[in-house]
Structure 1
């Protein structure tokens, strides 16, 4: 961004950026994450899972919209990138940490795990903001949104185990994923046509979790 663009951006009100469609999509994802945190605190973990999954959908959607928009200025792209990153730490850092704490009935034993989740998210997002993708379709380490998609599937089996047993399993799962989030391994960036696959997956699991809630 050159000096003239910086001067124009200072003259642009902050709320003006919220009229940008990709940013609206990002904020919709933030709303899903906030609702997920709310329901996790209340102990309604099925709805919390649904909220987290839809946060992933909107996180993927804002990028797709941004890439297809024509005439979007550099300042809007820069603002959108910052907004997306800050929302990601809420959706895929704080939100899963609160979920873990809630499942652990807010026991102090779950605090270290919650800290690891948030810390790993901050480290990974900071690294990505500085270095970006390895190439156009490859991440370094496991992307944070994948954690939510994995958790959503695993949590379907909650009722098959006792709460103490599954607490250990969920705790271990989060720590296992945290290792892979920071691991020096290359993982594919799912985008484009994969968005349809994500949407089907999230819709299917939303129906399953909704049915489980209704049948209780």
Structure 2
């Protein structure tokens, strides 16, 4: 009787092996910027937090651009990168704005409500997108979450024109409005897929980084 050796099972890659994938490195760089944004929000260095938030968006856009131009990536690579991107998005565009709102509101209990609404809307928005994807293959249903950071960083440019109390209200209303738009039925284009928008974001990121960086000194 001849005994045939069993066919070797497919060997799964190690978890850490995905770190060397360039798009995933971009995603993790964005997470590093988000971590700094959270830290600086908590300690009250809001201009530094704005720099972290805007660069998190830049790296978020970069991972998709790099992934689309890379050859040899498998379906598993793409699936892993997509999952990583979604998980980082909830931190960058949900947790970070919520902490920013709480910290700027000096952790007043009233701001917990706003922070929860922001975080809940982002979780619902990402879950909906993971389920249904782009509407018609070209547009998002609801305001895409990266717009939250782009808009909040812009609004913060005017912080010096108001008292802390007044701007706290402005920031609160802005964050809640964005949360409502995130879970609304409006259709918005996929900005990161347009090369022109990438150049605009690059200028926007560098310009705001310079402005906020100057105000740190």
Backbone CA RMSD of aligned residues? 1.0
Aligned residues: 207
1:54 aligns with 2:44: no
Alignment gaps of 5+ in structure 2? 1-8
Deviation at 1:129, TM superposition (A): 0.6
> What is the DSSP-based 3-state SS (H/G/I as helix, E as strand, rest coil) of the residue aligned with 1:106?
coil
Which residue does 1:125 correspond to in 2?
A: 126
> By percentage of residues, which structure has more helix?
1
Contact 1:25 1:59 in 2 (8 A): yes
Deviation at 1:114, TM superposition (A): 0.5
| Alpha-carbon displacement from aligned partner over 1:144-175 (angstroms, at most 9, x marks no partner) | 11011111111111111111111111000000
Which residue does 1:208 correspond to in 2?
A: 211
Deviation at 1:211, TM superposition (A): 1.2
Which residue does 1:199 correspond to in 2?
A: 202
| Alpha-carbon displacement from aligned partner over 1:13-49 (angstroms, at most 9, x marks no partner) | 0001111000000000000001110111110011111
Distance 2:137 2:208 in 1: 29
TM-score, normalising length from structure 1? 0.93
Which residue does 1:64 correspond to in 2?
A: 65
Distance 1:88 1:37 in 2: 14
| Equivalences for residues 1-216 of structure 1 within 5 A | 8=10, 11-191=12-192, 192-193=194-195, 194-214=197-217
> What is the DSSP-based 3-state SS (H/G/I as helix, E as strand, rest coil) of the residue aligned with 2:191?
coil
Distance 1:162 1:35 in 2: 25
Distance 1:25 1:126 in 2: 22
> What is the DSSP-based 3-state SS (H/G/I as helix, E as strand, rest coil) of the residue aligned with 1:213?
coil
Contact 1:137 1:190 in 2 (8 A): no
Moved over 2 A (4+): none
Distance 1:159 1:137 in 2: 38
Distance 2:17 2:134 in 1: 29
Alignment gaps of 5+ in structure 1? 1-6
Contact 1:141 1:185 in 2 (8 A): yes
Distance 2:153 2:130 in 1: 27
Contact 1:50 1:206 in 2 (8 A): yes
